[in-house]
Each structure stands twice: as structure tokens, then as C-alpha cells.
Amino acid sequence: MKNKQIAEIFDQIADILEFKGELVFKINAYRRAGRAISELAEDIEDLWREGRLGEISGVGKGLQEKIGEFLTTGQIAELQELAQHVPSGLFELLSVQNFGPKTAALAFKELGVETLTDLQRVLQDGSLAKLPGMGAKKVENIRKGLEFRLSAEERLSIGLVVPIVDEVVAYLKKVGPKIGRLSPAGSVRRGRETVHDIDLLAETDHGADVIKAFTDMPEVTQILGAGDTKGSVILNDRVQIDIRAVPAESFGAALQYFTGSKDHNVHLREIAKKLGYKINEYGIFANDKKIGGDQEEAIYEKLGMSWIPPELREDRGEIEAAQQGHIPQLLQQEDILADLHVHSVYSDGQLTVAEMADAVRARGYRYMAFCDHSRYANYANGMDEKRLLKQIQEIKALNSKMKDFVILTGCEVDILPDGTLDFGDEMLAQLDFVIASIHSGFKTNPTERAIRAMQNPYVDVIGHPTGRLISRREGYDIDVNAIIQEAAKTGTALEINSYWDRLDLSDVNAKLAIDAGVKISINTDAHHPEHLPMMRYGVATARRGWATKGDIINTLTVDELKKWQKRNRIRT
DNA sequence: GCCGTTTTCGGCCCGACTGTTTTCAGTCG
């Protein structure tokens, strides 16, 4: 897919136009189109071939031509042209906080600053400070921004951020003066797989006191700003947290406003304007008279639509759906009855079968499946048939002693480089549940191998189908559409692996699969009880993919699962 | 550059904080 590349080019064009001081509306048009394209579920090349580029919101005639140009020639002439008279490292430079397009243009014109290294130099030798409008504080803020930019990762995985959010929320509830409702907002609330920073919203009549408690937190290593209603800090030199303090009568409006996404909000405010309303973080207003703001639901209601779950707020059609009352009842954590991919000491898990089963049961699930690695995965202490048979016996013995909880026998069987499975059908037939995964030979026909695995009637699920690791690698060179088509054809489920660094399928791919009628299995792939709570990230990812309860096999009871499998296994 | 149940031209979402200003521009979200 070239979606990301094209989105990035539009964003770069916007950066350059901004640097040049062009009309802000033109700049925004490029940014908006870029975001819409990067959020697109479908392959933009397909849309282009089918003449459907105009369906992308914010993409008009001019940008359609540019997309066509890129897909035909591999470049966009306008970008090459524009890039000639701007700093070579412009996009990096603009990623430095407090160093915006105006300052960048000034530093380029007067001092020849083209790269981050140049910026570092002019900060050190004092030449930046001598430019007009550059006071000591401004220069210091740019220096801090550069420092943070050089040390921090671009985006943080949700699994690293959510525990921090939970801690900060707990801390503020304890020490924060007179805080009522306190909620994450922004991309954390939307359940995105990675986030740039953390947004919090506090209900209070004592904003300044709350902001002070916030900036006084022990983990704060830098205060970026602190007013009566807004504070911004960096925690442990790593992650930025912003907080907004609002009175009760504005909390709902502020929650809506700060949850975003930007495109979702812009779209909403356009609708509001047409209806004669104004929305801001303090409420929804008709002729300067406030008609709502305490509850988030009221904002949507006044705009003539149903409430939209935060995970859907990306302006990918959810607003139109809400206007028509077509927002589906999304999957909820409580719908999940089982974790179907858990490891034990039989392969690379850290606890015994009994210990791990206790931990899973303690989370309130009704049943589970152990899917330890097969022998080919010897780096993970993969089981041979003998050990797997022993595990089956152990699980049977445990089941006979347990009430109200069932352990399914299973295996995460390796898809071998030649496309066959690590165990034969005789072995697989003895298992309740089978996940097939690729763990090696990522570059050796992964698509064909996964397709062949799905054609095996005993394979229920393809584990972590695209093989990506969010912080480390792109994933296999796999044709996701082909995988989805075969999954639909064979009745095989695809996994959303909830491990924070995987979230594979991604939300976008999950939506494609669900739209094609493919069932999804959401699992933690837990090797330790600490991993079990990560189910929430998998659920959030599924919700972002518009998943309902009916799309997810983990919501089935054991009997229903068996029925689903039987249908599944009858196929040829 | 996009877009239309007030518009095919003339709009385009809205506000907080900071610093360097002597009334506001720049940056950010």
C-alpha cells in the first residue's frame, strides 16, 4: 500500500507551504487530505484504479491529479520543485517543539540553518539568540525542545503509556484538590496503538490548584507550561502529559473537544456551524446561549446524531453513520469470555498450566486455551508430540477437578518455511483449538504459506497475521487482502494479538477483515499473568475496527465455539 | 486546495499560553 507514502508527501508539502508563509487554508487542505489518506482502510491504488479517489474526504480535483501522478511516476513534481528552496532537513526541524515555521524561516534566511545539527550549532554559539524577536526564554525553550526531540521516540506504544495514565490518574485523585470527574482524553481515550502524548481532563472549580498539583508531581522532569486551565509537563524525560481543568458544566464539552481526533472535531464543528451552533471546549452554544456542555452525549444529540464511541472518532464515516443512527453496538470487554492464546512452561511461558489457568480464571473468563509453541520454534522451547500429549493429559486432569471453568487443549503450531504445519493432522485432530503462526522465514512466501495453513481444516486461527512489531519491525511482506479473502473462504479466524507491541491485526486491517465477513480472535499471547490485562488493547483495536460482539469468536461459549469449529472443519 | 439545503465565490474551527510586544505574533493542540 502506498497510502502512508502519499500521506507523508502531502504533509511535507504542507510543511513547505507553511515554511514559505502560504495561505493557511491551502496548508490545511494538504494536511487534512494527508490525514484522511493515512487513516484510509482501503488501498489508495485500488481507489485510483476504480476512479474513486473523490470519495476520500478533503481530496478534490487537484489532489486527485497529484495522487495519480505519484502512482504513475513515483513522484510529485510540485514537491521536488518546492523542496529546492527550503532547508534540506525542514521536516525534522519542524518536529522540534517551540520551533515553528516562522522561526525556522528566520533561522534559515539569516543563519543558514538546514538541519538539527545546524540548529544545535546556532543555539550553542549564541547566533540564534541575536536574531530579532529572540529573547532568552524563547531560545531556552527551543533548546529544550531540541533536546527532547533528540532523546525521545517519535510515538509511544499504548501499552507503555496506559500504565502511566493509570498511575497519574490515581495520584491526582488522591492529592489533587477538589477534582470531580477525571478522564484521559486524546488518542489514549481513542485507543490508538501509539500516541504522541497523554491528554487528561479534570473537572474542578479550582483549576490553578489542580494544575499546580499536576506540575508538582514527583516524576515531572520539565514543565512546559502552566496556567489556570492548562498544564503541560514531561514525565521522566520521556513522555509529555497535558492536563486541562474545566468546571463541571463544561466537562462533557471539553471531553468531546480534547478527545478528538482533529478531523472528527473539525467535521463536527462544521456541522454545528451550519445548524447555527458554536462548539468549543466550554459547551455548545446557540446565539451565545449555552445549550449543553455538562455531558458529552448532549453535544452529539444537539447536532442530530447518536453518541459516537471514542475509538471511532477519526472521521472515517462515523459521523455520517451517527447521523443515520447506524453506529453499531461495539464489542465490549465484558463480552470476552475466553483468552484463547496463552503459554505455559510447556514452551516459553513462565508459569505452569495450573498456575496460569488460575490467573486467567481470576480475570473472570469462562474458559481459555493453552496454545504453546510447537517443536520447530526451538528458540521458544517448542513442544514435540510427546510433550504436547503430556500437556493434554495434564489439562484433562485439571478440567475434571474444575467447575465453571474450562481449559481447552491447543497449540500455536508453526507454519514451516515450506508452508506445511509443524504437526500432522493426526496430532492436530486431538486438540480442541489450533492457532497457526509464522515465526521464521518472514521473507519466504509468507502469503502462500498462511493461505496453505488456512486450508488445513484443523487450523482455527492465524496468529499475529502480519508479524509486525510496532517498535521494531514492519512485519512480513504479506498480502493482507489475499489473507483476508482466504480466511473468508475457509472460515478461518484472524487474530488480534493484544500484546502491546504487536496489535496485529491493526485496527485498519481488522476492519477490512470484518467487512469481508472474517471472524476475529482477540488474545493476549500471555507468557506471564502480567500480560493478561493487555486484552484491553486488543479490545480497543477491535472497537477501532468497528467490531461488534458477533465478529469475535472469544465471545462464544465453549459449545458455540465448537459449533463454529465444526462448521469450519467440515469444509474441504 | 476544498466545497456548497444560504454560496460555483468566498468562505474555510477555536482557544490557551508564552514571550516580547506596547497591542500581538507564534506555537501548539
Residue in this structure with the C-alpha cell 512489531, named with its chain if needed: A469
Q: Strands A182-185, A198-203: parallel, antiparallel or unpaired by DSSP? A: antiparallel
Best mean pLDDT range from A78-92, A357-371, A557-571: A357-371
* pLDDT, average across residues A382-411: 95
Which nucleotide does the CA of A28 lie closest to, via C1'?
B1
The answer to whether strand B lies under 7 Å from the CB of residue A26 is yes
Nucleotide nearest to A138 (CA to C1'): B19
Of A residues 61-80, those with CB within 7 angstroms of nucleic strand B are 61-64
- The mean per-residue pLDDT over the stretch A265-285 comes to 89
Per DSSP, helices labelled H in A195-261 are 207-215, 251-259
Whole-number percent of chain A with pLDDT over 90:
64
Sheet holding A367-370, edge to edge: A338-342, A367-370, A406-408
Residues 122-151/A with CB < 7 A to strand B:
132-139, 141, 145
pLDDT of residue A237: 79
pLDDT > 90? residue A487: yes
State the nucleotide closest to A225 in CA–C1' terms. Answer: B17
pLDDT at residue A569, as a whole number: 56
DSSP string, A276-291: TEEEETTEEEETTEEE
Domain ranges of chain A: 3-154, 157-246, 251-323, 333-568
Quote the pLDDT of residue A154: 67
Count of C-beta atoms within a 10 Å radius of residue A326: 11
Report the SS3 class of residue A521.
strand
The amino acid sitting at A305 is M
CA-wise closest residue to A264 among A59, A55, A35 = A35
What's the whole-number mean pLDDT along residues A365-393?
93
CA of A102 to C1' of B24 (A): 15
Q: Which residue is nearest to nucleotide B19 (CA to C1')?
A: A138
- Protein-nucleic contacts, chain A 211-230 to strand B, CB < 7 Å: 225-230
Question: Averaged over A198-222, what is the pLDDT?
Answer: 92
Mean pLDDT score, A301-328: 93
pLDDT of A381 reads: 87
Residue A92, pLDDT above cutoff 50: yes
**Residue at shortest CA–C1' distance from B20:** A133
> Nearest residue to nucleotide B14 when comparing alpha carbons to its C1'?
A280
- Distance CA A369 to C1' B1 in A: 53
Q: Determine the protein residue whose CA lies at the shortest distance from the C1' of B11.
A: A25
Q: Measured from the CB, is A259 under 7 Å from any atom of strand B?
A: no
Percent helix, strand and coil across chain A, each rounded to 5?
50, 15, 35
- Average the pLDDT over A169-188 and give the result: 90
| Measured distance CA(A259)–CA(A367) in Å, rounded | 35
Residue A373 pLDDT > 90: yes
Tell me the mean pLDDT in the region A427-440.
94
Distance CA A298 to C1' B6 in A: 27
Which pTM value belongs to this model? 0.80
State yes or no: pLDDT of A101 exceeds 60.
Answer: yes
Nearest residue: Cα versus C1' of B6: A274
CA-derived radius of gyration, chain A: 26
* Range scoring the smallest mean pLDDT among A69-73, A154-158, A273-277: A154-158
Cβ-based contacts (< 7 Å) between A 181-200 and strand B: 186, 197, 199
Contact A206, A228 (CB under 8 A): no
Angstrom distance, A559 CA to B17 C1': 59
| Distance between the alpha carbon (CA) of A284 and the C1' atom of B19, Å | 32
Angstrom distance, A132 CA to B23 C1':
18
Judged against a pLDDT cut of 90, whether residue A2 lies above it is answered with no
Q: How confident is the model at residue A566, as a pLDDT?
A: 64
Q: Which of A547, A552, A480, A537 is nearest to A511 (CA)?
A: A547
Cα–Cα distance between A390 and A213 in angstroms, integer?
56
Listed as ranges, the nucleotides of chain B within 7 A of a protein C-beta are 1-3, 6, 11-21, 25-29
Across chain A, what does the average pLDDT equal?
Answer: 91
What is the pLDDT, as a whole number, of residue A571? 47
CA of A191 to C1' of B3 (A): 31
Nearest to A259 by CA among A186, A181, A313: A186
Tell me how crowded residue A436 is: count the other CB atoms within 10 A of its CB. 30
Per CATH, the number for A333-568 is: 3.20.20.140
Architecture label for domain A157-246: 2-Layer Sandwich (3.30)
Q: Is the pLDDT of residue A542 over 90?
A: yes
Query: CATH 3.30.210.10: does it fit domain A251-323?
Result: yes
Report, as an integer, the average pLDDT of A87-98.
Answer: 89
Question: CA-to-CA distance for A534 and A545, rounded, in angstroms?
Answer: 17
Using the predicted structure, report yes or no on whether residue A246 has a pLDDT greater than 80: yes
- Do residues A412 and A371 touch, judged by C-beta distance below 8 A? yes
Mean pLDDT for A457-486 is 88
Whether any strand B atom is under 7 angstroms from the Cβ of A536: the reply reads: no
C1' (B2) to CA (A392) span, angstroms: 62
Fold of A3-154: DNA polymerase; domain 1 (1.10.150)
Indicate the pLDDT class of residue A522, thresholds 50, 70 and 90.
very high
Mean of the pLDDT values across residues A70-84? 90
